[in-house]
Structure formats: structure tokens, C-alpha cells
Amino acid sequence: MKIWPLKKKSGLFVKDFKLGVDPKADLEFLLMNCRNQYKSFDEALITKAFNWCYDTHKNKIRKSGKPFYIHPVSVALIVVKEMPLDDIAVVCALLHNVVDEGNLYGIKDIQNEFGATVAEIIEHIIKIKYIEGRQIEHLENYRKLLLALFKDVRIILIKIADRLDNMRSIEFLEEEKQKKMSEETLEIYSAFAHRFGLGSLKWELEDLAFKVLNKEAYDDISNALKLRRGDREDFIGNFTKPIRNNLAKDELLKRKNIKFDIIGRPKHIFSIYTKMKARGLPISELFDLFAIRIILDTDDSSYCFIVYGIISDIYKPVPGTFKDYISSPKQNGYQSLHTAVLDTSGKPVEIQIRTKKMDEIAEKGVASHFNYKRDFLPAQSVLDDRNIEEWMGLVRNVFEYAGDETPEELIDSVRKNLFSDEIFVFTPTYEFRKFPKDATPLDFAFAIHSEIGFHCIGAKVNGKVVPLDYKLQSGDVIEILTSKNQKPKKDWLKCVVTQRARNNIHKYLKDEKKRAEERGMSIWKGIVNRYNIKETEEFIYEMLSKLKFDTMKNFFQSLGSTSFDVSVVYEFLADKKINLSLNHINGEDLLPDKDTPQMKDAQDSIGIKIKNASINVSYAGCCHPLPGDAIIGHIKEGKEIIVHRKNCRHVKHMIETHQQILFDMDWSNLIHKDFTIKIRIVAEEKPEILNMITSKILSLKKVNFRGLNINSIDEGLEGIITANVHSIEDMTTLFERLRQLNGIKSVERYNE
């Protein structure tokens, strides 16, 4: 059947040619599109790949009822016309189903006939298809899927083309498969299309997926756009008329023969939906449903700024909306000037100004590199581009070294690290650093060195102290504040966005469990030896039950952690009538051996140091920490450290409200003197009770009685005792003696 000559439109063939009627015509249609796009290409190689494709699939029918072979041909046409990639990518698109969907050819056959590069790309595409076919519930499957994508940039781009063609006929699949494919498209493929700058493909993928996942909302927006189409076209015509006239009359543009095109396009349905959700508005109240794009036929970007100046003389710019992506391109290479102006009625209108080359990069992204190479080499990968190679390396690092994250957390991390806009910040010596948007001082600290990250307690940003979760802004100058007592916590994962920081925190927490268990075993061994405790099965069972632990391993891990309140152990031992007065504890059971580098003479280290500036230490009056308590500190007005017990309710409030920079501490660098404690007792209301309490306290040599306040409550009397002690041992002894008194109902530490 003769189908030539075909009509042309704007350098591309019209889309009314129907595949699947005549295979010879299909091949010729593909080759003609290649001739139209490429300066040179291997026509024989593409022809051979088409014949292999047809031979493999000629007897198969898709669920749509069309011949199966037109799917790989359609993918090849997307690769040629809508990206476009090189001829190797076209060959791979044609062959991407040959091995797994047929039994005529294997990978070895492809390598022998088409070369190692084609065979490797096809092999990874098959792996991806295999992983996609399984239920992707586990991190390892996501990691394999994403790593396979990033062996060669063409693998991703062919898979995007493959997914786009499948989405275009998704209505023929079962409902459950439609949903799964659409979710995957939004999570992975539209995000990758965005990162590679494939704007038009990204928008189509999003809209096709959204149509499946929320058809009602899709139809509502689609119908609203159709109803308003006439009004929109009239508005665009009236709005752009003075811009056209002024640009046409401008002497400089005329002298330099700078031609231009002005396009008014409605925004895509999924994009409109996200705006509606973000602003909480119906579509009838959204004014920015379209953008005006001005495309200049020049490679000189300075004319974009000249055009911006001309437009600013016609319409008033909206303050704060000017964005220069020409001087500072996005990660995916996108360049343009963005602004918003007020029309004659006061409504904001978005305007984009770019060159023709910038527009092609915006539409076709990384694939446009093939068109703009000075000497086009058909088999050469875009990986020759250093920026792309660097980014691909970053991607592989994210997936290869991901921590113990769920698939959802990994995908979120991918978005934040690879698809977000960037910020640009500086060290105190004004060294330039680049981070994903929403990066925090912790991300900055881990980027410098893992040890800096581990001990980070906050930062000075532009000279002002900020907390760990402060979101950095472009232009910030960051100085990291550290403390040798600071250690990573699980909550840190909530305030980092870079994969490097996440990986380091995950690794530390994993190793810390093992270290905590070893420390806990050592602490318990010291307690057992110090107090000559008999570790019978009955004793161990009773202790674990009382302290609510399943196993001794769990007990050791908690005992060795900084968050454990060791006083509960001593209270249990006191209840078991174990004599705790043999030696002073003074926190020594909780500290490393004196010979280790971590243990320093308390007299030599009164406070902690930040940037070599000594800071005074005070003990919080709300919780009255004692040596042996798990403690935490915060900086007060940059002048002193306030030490709290970790279970202090004020600490919980500070954590929840992010009011202070908090960091772990231990007793190794604090002087041990008398410490104030407050104890709450509840007792029967009888005349002699006050004398009994005061007499008992005064009889203890190591307790300095300071005062007692009594109030009547429903249960009897409530007393708040203030006393000075040296350690948890002294406090435990005091607790034990008070509980022995007749009429005492309860004794506990009191937090204000």
C-alpha cells in the first residue's frame, strides 16, 4: 500500500497516520521520522531491529485488540519525535520486548547482532519489567528497580516512553492494574520525566494517571476548562495584543532581527488540581489557569531580560514573583525568566520568557542534548555530559546506600534529593555548597563530615543561633555548633533531607544498639559485683517483670542507653532489701572506665565547649537532675548550659515546640557536688506524721534537709520535701526510709 508522500506540519509528520495496517508502511513511517530528526543515523540497524520486533510479535494481539508489535514501534516513535534520543535508543525501544515476550531471540543474539551497549540496555529493561511485575512492598525491590534504571540514562528515557505508550491505552486493563500502574506512574515515572526536563511527557503522564486515580475530579476540571475555553482565548488575545505590538515596534529587536512567538497555554489538569488542593479553592476562583510563554528566536539570553523590561512597562509586575532561572538553572537544565503581572482588571497573569533552545530543553529536557551536540554521534550516550554523569552518580549513591527505610520513605527521599529545587549556601569562609530545598543545619553538618554531623547541636545562620530543624535558605552563611556529648537520635531522621545525612544517622543508630547493649552489660556487671547480687533465675525473672523487659538483651540495651533512668533499677534493688550503702555510686556505674579517653577528670572540665568558648553549667530547678540520671542540655541565651533530666516534662515541651537546641550530656564533664532534689509524698492525715517525716530525714547523714511544704488533698496530706543529696544512691536510701514509715502512701521524685 503506497502511503507517500505524507503531509508535514511544523517539521514533524501529522499524527493521523495509523500504525498496524501495513508493517512496511510502519517501518517507512518510523524511518522518515528519523530522517526528519537526525542529521545522521544507522538506518540499517533500525531496519533490522524493526524486523526482529515484527517477527517476534506478529501473531500477538494487545488487550486493545491491536497488533502487539505496534507497541514497541510506538515507543520508538516517542523516542524519536517526543524526546528525541539517538539511534541506539530507537533500536532498544524496538527490541525492548523481544527477549521476554518471545522465544526467537536471546540477549546473546542481540549482543552478536546489535552490540554490547544495546544488549546491556535491553537486559536492564527486562530486569525492570520483572521487578515491576512483582508486588513492590519491600525496600530491596525498589532499590533494584531504581538502580537498574540508572545504569544508562537511555534506560530511564526508554522506560518513560514505554510507560507513556502503556498509559495511553490503560483503559483496556483491569481496574486494579490500572490503579497500580497509575500510582507507580505518579511516584516514579512522572517524577523522572520532570527531573530530566521532559515537561510535555511529565504533564501527560500526570494527567493520564490522575484520570484513573480520581476520575471525578479529572472530569470536573476538564469540563470546566472546556466551558471556559472561549473566554480564555478572548482573554489571552486581548492580554497579549499590547505585548505583541510593543515587541514588534521595539527598535533594538527590529535592528537585531529578533523574531518571537507568544503562546497562551492552559495549565494541565493535575497541576490545576494540586493548586486547588493547596489553596483550598474551587476552579472558578483560580485565575492562573494558564501561562503566557514568549519564545525568542535567538541564542542570546540577554534579550529575555530586554523583553521582561518591555512587558514591565505595559503591565505592573506582582512583587516577589520574578524568578531568574537563566542565571541559575534548575537541576534538570531548565532555563527561563518567570514573572507575574497584573492585567487591566487587577488579576495576576503568569509569564515565561525564554529562547527557542531553552524552550526545547524545557520540553525535551536531557534528550535535547542529542540535537545540540556539535558533531552528532548516533551511538554516543548523553552520559558524556559531565553534569548528567555527576547527577547519575548521585542517584546511584542514594539507592545503593539507602538505610532501613520503607519504600515510601525511599521514594520521598528520592524526591527531596533528586527532584527538588536547589538552595545555595556558604561556609563561614564563604565556600559555596549546594543542597536540596528544605535542607537543615544537620544536612550541612553531615555534608562536611560524619563526625561533625554526629555532634551537631545546632548552627549559627547569618550570626544567629538556630535549631537543628531550621530550613536553610539560599545565601545563608552557616557555622555548625557541636558538643562532644551530642549523639544522633531517631528523631533526627525527621529533620534531614539529604541521603548522606540519613545514611549516617541510620548507621549510627544501628551501631548504637550494639554499643548500648555492651555498655549495659558492663554497667550491670559492675552493679552485681558492687552489691554482691545473686543472679538467680527467680531474681532475673522478677526484675525483668518489674522493669517491663522481655529479655536481658533488651534490658542491657536500655540500661546502656542515655535515655534510661537508672534510678528505677536501684529502687527495685532497694525493694529487694539489697544493701546499697557499701559504696558511693556518684554516676560511676554509668561512665566509661577511667582509663578510656572518654573519662576525664571532672575538675578539669567544668562545662562543655562550643567553638572553644567555655560555657557555664546550671542545673534545672524544675526536675533537679542527679548524677546517674539520664540528662539533656540546652543553651540559654548563648551564655550557659541548663541541665535537665531527660524525662522532665519541660524537655518534652521543648522537643514538641522546637523552642530550644537540645543535646545529650553525661556526667563525665560535670563537677559532682550537693544536688537539690524535691520529693512528693502522700500520707495519711494524722498529727504525728510531720514529726515522723522530718525526724527520719534528719537522721540520714548524707541528706541535708531543706524544707517541707504540706497541703491537704482528698487522699490525705501531700508533702513536697526539698533536700540536698550527693547521688541517686542517697536519694534511693531516702525513698526507702520514708516508705518504711507508718502512714506513708507513696514517695516519688517531684518535677515542677
Residue 249 reports pLDDT greater than 80: yes
CA angle 684, 686, 690 (to 5 degrees): 90
Residue 494 reports pLDDT greater than 80: yes
pLDDT digits (tens, 9 = 90+) for 530-546: 778 888 888 999 999 98
**56-60, 360-364, 608-612: least confident range:** 608-612
Residue 141 reports pLDDT greater than 90: no
What value does the mean pLDDT take over residues 571-583? 67
**125-139, 376-390, 413-427, 717-731: least confident range:** 376-390
Residues 317 and 286 in one domain: yes
d(CA 468, CA 443): 9
Q: What's the pLDDT score for residue 144?
A: 57
More confident residue, 298 or 589: 298
Q: What's the pLDDT score for residue 23?
A: 94
Residues 117 and 85 in one domain: yes
pLDDT band of 578, cuts 50, 70, 90: confident
pLDDT digits (tens, 9 = 90+) for 43-54: 999 999 999 999
**303-312, 398-407, 573-582: least confident range:** 398-407
String of DSSP letters for 600-618: --GGG-SSEEETTEEEEEE
Q: Name the residue with cell 540519613.
A: 502
Which structural domain, as residue segments, surrounds residue 738?
675-749
* 54 found inside a domain: yes
Q: What's the pLDDT score for residue 496?
A: 92
What value does the mean pLDDT take over residues 320-326? 86
CB 61: neighbour CB atoms within 10 A?
Answer: 10
Q: What's the pLDDT score for residue 323?
A: 87
Q: What's the pLDDT score for residue 24?
A: 94
Q: How far is CA 710 from CA 681, 697, 720, 722, 746, in A?
A: 9, 15, 7, 12, 14
Residue where a domain terminates, one of 187, 213, 239: 213
What value does the mean pLDDT take over residues 279-299? 82
* 421 found inside a domain: no
Residues 338 and 284 in one domain: yes
Residue 397 reports pLDDT greater than 80: no
Contact (Cβ atoms closer than 8 angstroms) between residue 440 and residue 470: yes
String of DSSP letters for 479-544: EEEE-TT----GGGGGG--SHHHHHHHHHHHHHHHHHHHHHHHHHHHHHHHHTT----HHHHHHHH
Residues in contact with 470: Cβ distance below 8 Å, sequence separation at least 6, in sequence order: 440, 441, 459, 461
Residues 150 and 109 in one domain: yes
* 527 found inside a domain: no
Which CATH number is 706's domain given? 3.30.70.260
CA dihedral defined by 327, 329, 333, 337, rounded to 10 degrees? Answer: -80
* 445 found inside a domain: no
Q: What's the pLDDT score for residue 28?
A: 95
Q: What's the pLDDT score for residue 691?
A: 74
Residues 250 and 206 in one domain: no
Residue 750 reports pLDDT greater than 70: yes
Contact (Cβ atoms closer than 8 angstroms) between residue 79 and residue 128: no
Q: What's the pLDDT score for residue 74?
A: 96
Q: What's the pLDDT score for residue 336?
A: 92
pLDDT digits (tens, 9 = 90+) for 335-351: 899 998 998 888 888 99
Residues 132 and 254 in one domain: no
Residue 524 reports pLDDT greater than 70: yes
Q: 462 — alpha (psi -120 to 50), left (phi > 0) or beta?
A: left
Here the cell at position 631 is 540528662
Q: What's the pLDDT score for residue 329?
A: 80
Q: What's the pLDDT score for residue 360?
A: 82
Residues 188 and 226 in one domain: no
More confident residue, 568 or 668: 568
Residue 426 reports pLDDT greater than 90: no
Per the prediction, the chain carries an average pLDDT of 79
Residue where a domain terminates, one of 213, 243, 273: 213
pLDDT digits (tens, 9 = 90+) for 367-395: 554 444 333 333 333 434 455 555 555 55
d(CA 412, CA 666): 35
Number of domains in the chain: 3
Residues 104 and 229 in one domain: no
Q: What's the pLDDT score for residue 589?
A: 40
Q: What's the pLDDT score for residue 7?
A: 41
Residues in contact with 506: Cβ distance below 8 Å, sequence separation at least 6, in sequence order: 403, 404, 405, 493
What value does the mean pLDDT take over residues 118-129? 86
* 285 found inside a domain: yes
CA dihedral defined by 31, 35, 39, 41, rounded to 10 degrees? Answer: 10
Residue where a domain terminates, one of 345, 372, 399: 372
Q: What's the pLDDT score for residue 274?
A: 86
Which CATH number is 317's domain given? 3.30.460.10
Q: Is the pTM of this model over 0.75?
A: no
Name beta bridge partners: 341. 317, 349
DSSP state at residue 186: I
Q: What's the pLDDT score for residue 294?
A: 96
* 434 found inside a domain: no
Q: Which of 692, 683, 685, 693 is nearest to 721 (CA)?
A: 693
* 206 found inside a domain: yes
What value does the mean pLDDT take over residues 255-282? 86
Residues 737 and 691 in one domain: yes
Residue 416 reports pLDDT greater than 90: no
Residues 96 and 199 in one domain: yes
What value does the mean pLDDT take over residues 176-200? 84
pLDDT band of 17, cuts 50, 70, 90: confident
Residues 48 and 179 in one domain: yes
Residues in contact with 180: Cβ distance below 8 Å, sequence separation at least 6, in sequence order: none
| Burial of 551 (C-beta count, 10 Å sphere; 0-12/13-18/19+) | exposed
- Which of 58-62, 82-86, 279-283, 730-734 is the most confident on average? 58-62
Residues 174 and 228 in one domain: no
What value does the mean pLDDT take over residues 697-712? 80
More confident residue, 365 or 357: 357
Q: How far is CA 376 from CA 42, 84, 116, 370, 460, in A?
A: 12, 13, 21, 7, 50
- Type and span of the H or E element at 265: strand 260-266
* 311 found inside a domain: yes
More confident residue, 70 or 495: 70
